[in-house]
Chain A
Amino acid sequence: MEHITLLLGIVIVTALVFDFTNGFHDTANAMATTISTGALRPKTAVAMSAVLNLVGAFLSVEVAKTISGGIIDEEGLRTEVIFAALVGAILWNLLTWLLGLPSSSSHALFGGLIGAAVMSAGWSSVNGSTVVTKVLIPAVAAPVVAGLAAMLATRLTYAIGDRADRKATAKGYRAGQIASAGLVSLAHGTNDAQKTMGIITLALVTGGVLSPGSNPPMWVILSAGTAIALGTYLGGWRIIRTLGKGLTDLAPPQGFAAQTSAATAILASSHIGFSLSTTQVCSGAVMGSGLGRRGGVVRWSTATRMLVAWCLTLPAAGLVGAGAEVLTKQGTWGTVVTGALLLAGSGTIWVLSRRKPVTVDNVNDLDGVGDIDAAEADGGVPAESPGVVTAAIAAVAPPPAGPLVEADAAGTAGVNTPVVELQATIPAPDTGSAAEPTRPAAV
């Protein structure tokens, strides 16, 4: 009995940690364009997104009854398997955050579940065709759908809006961007916080605390909503920078078109029932709006690395999940060791991230986007990750951003260079701390 209690406690905490990483990983989806075009100040943007995520968590009427939506056979799923899957998903989320790559948190969770389930019950527990229809096809479709819509919308808005004074229209675009970013945040809170509630509820049911088919208790809803909101507020600045500045240079009309296309595609897909990944929709929308402006450029090297990361999400999280499942199978000590390895891996990634911190202060500096050497990326892989994945990750670290298109952006980046270098050598401040004294040189 004590074993079950310990395990349950660990699973609940791990699920909340996953929820938290999900929050700060996905802040970029809603707020990257808003921050990079200056529609909202970074702190205001993440605060707004956090509040809407929290509200979204309480809006849900129907909490996810399944974790994986039929990808794996959840009949008789053991609590250890859920734990192992969460370990895989968290480590992948942290690693992609370190590299500043937007990748789907749900796909990481699916990957972890698949790996852990295969290790626990064999390949027959995975529904291969569901993997194709729910993960692979949406992964290809999402960026195309949102990208095409954003591209056409950008063309249209430039065609109509060019007749008007740019200064006069900026305020309007700002409002539109904030509204659509708010919708994305709200939808994210509803979908993803629900997922965590589903996991915790399922764990409580398998642990015999709740009767099958019961709704999540209030404390589960509250803690899941709080965890995702806290994560969102902390802000995954690295990913925000890649999505807002690294892929393309966004002007307010482009940001508005991208965010509107993302919000529409997310809502349309969840309403019609062909679920698309929020992250992939948003990345596609940003690329599309980059292509839609005359003279706009998409940095295909960064886009390619992002695509590689998407392809790796499922297998990489799966391998870690499988490894974790092998350990948890050994009994209580194995579970504790897995927990310790998770802490060690997360700690290592966090320490590495401090070397070149991306904070609220330098989130809009184009310089050094994904400026991580292969060596550093190598060291950043947690102890449990296999070598193959390590090498592959090293290959996908985003390169320094390409040549700048706009003259004013180039000027800003040039002035910023010493600041970035300075921040790399000075002991880093906490991510949450307010404006730094080194900042004035940049503005």
Chain B
Amino acid sequence: MKIDWAALGSVFGVSLVVTVGLVGLFTLGIVGLTKKESARGGSAVLAATGAYACFAACAAAVAYGIHLIVV
């Protein structure tokens, strides 16, 4: 019996890192957007830019996910 521990380990590691990373990024984006509303001037722009950058990274991850499903 050959158990592919390496594959299991990578599934484990990748799931953990990607999930925590994506959820963290997305939450930062959400928090950034709410900051934008309360802040004024330069810091509002900064918060909005950061938020959209986070969302863009998440969107890229979703696109990669669809790519994995299709191909």
At the interface, yes or no: A129 with Cβ under 8 Å from chain B? yes
Given the interface pairs A157-B23, A272-B10, the reply to whether A133 lies near B58 with Cβ below 8 Å is no
Asked if A294 is an interface residue, CB under 8 A from chain B, the answer is no
Q: Are A153 and B66 in contact (CB under 8 A)?
A: no
Across the interface, name the chain A residue whose C-beta is closest to B18: A264
Residue ID in chain B nearest A171 by CB atoms: B30
By size class, the interface of chain A is: 35 or more
Pairwise interchain contact A172-B33, C-beta atoms closer than 8 A = yes
A interface, over-half SS: helix
* Structural contact, A161 and B31, CB atoms closer than 8 A: yes
State the A residues within 8 Å of B (CB). Answer: 56, 59, 61, 129, 132-133, 137, 141, 145-146, 148-150, 152-154, 156-157, 160-161, 163-165, 168-169, 172-173, 176, 179-180, 183, 186-187, 190, 253, 256-257, 260-261, 263-265, 267-274, 276
- CA gap between A178 and B60 in the complex, in Å: 16
- Among residues of B, the one whose C-beta sits closest to the C-beta of A129 is B1
Whether A179 lies near B23 (C-beta < 8 A) is no
| Docked CA distance A421–B27 (Å) | 41
User: Of A133, A149, A153, A172, which one neighbours B29 at CB under 8 angstroms?
Assistant: A172
CB of B25, distance to nearest CB on chain A (Å): 10
Task: Evaluate contact between A149 and B16: CB separation under 8 angstroms.
Answer: yes
Contacts of A157 in B (CB 8 A): 23-24, 26-27
18 residue pairs from A and B, CB less than 8 Å apart: A137-B3, A145-B11, A149-B19, A153-B19, A163-B31, A164-B31, A168-B34, A169-B30, A169-B34, A172-B26, A172-B33, A179-B62, A261-B23, A265-B11, A265-B15, A269-B15, A272-B10, A274-B8
* Cα–Cα distance between A264 and B18 once the two chains are bound (Å): 7
Contact with A261, one of B8, B19, B35, B68 (Cβ below 8 angstroms):
B19
The winner among B4, B14, B58 for most chain A CB atoms within 10 A is B14
Contact of A274 among B4, B70, B71 (CB under 8 A): B4
The interface residues of chain A lying within 8 Å CB-to-CB of B37 are 168
**Complex CA distance for A341 and B11, rounded to whole angstroms:** 41
| Cβ contact within 8 Å between B69 and A145 | no
Complex CA–CA separation, A288 to B33 (angstroms): 27
Do residues B20 and A156 form an inter-chain contact, with CB atoms below 8 A? yes
A146→B62 CA distance, assembly (Å): 18
New contact pairs (17) apart from A264-B14, A274-B10, CB-CB < 8 Å: A129-B1, A141-B8, A153-B22, A156-B20, A160-B28, A164-B34, A168-B34, A168-B37, A169-B34, A172-B30, A179-B62, A183-B65, A260-B19, A263-B65, A267-B69, A271-B68, A273-B7
Give the distance in Å from the alpha carbon of A292 to the alpha carbon of B31 in the complex: 20
Q: Which of A129, A269, A274 has the most CB of B within 10 A?
A: A274
A137-B8, A141-B8, A187-B69 are contacts. A256–B16 as well, Cβ < 8 Å?
Answer: no
| Chain A CB within 8 A of B40 CB | no
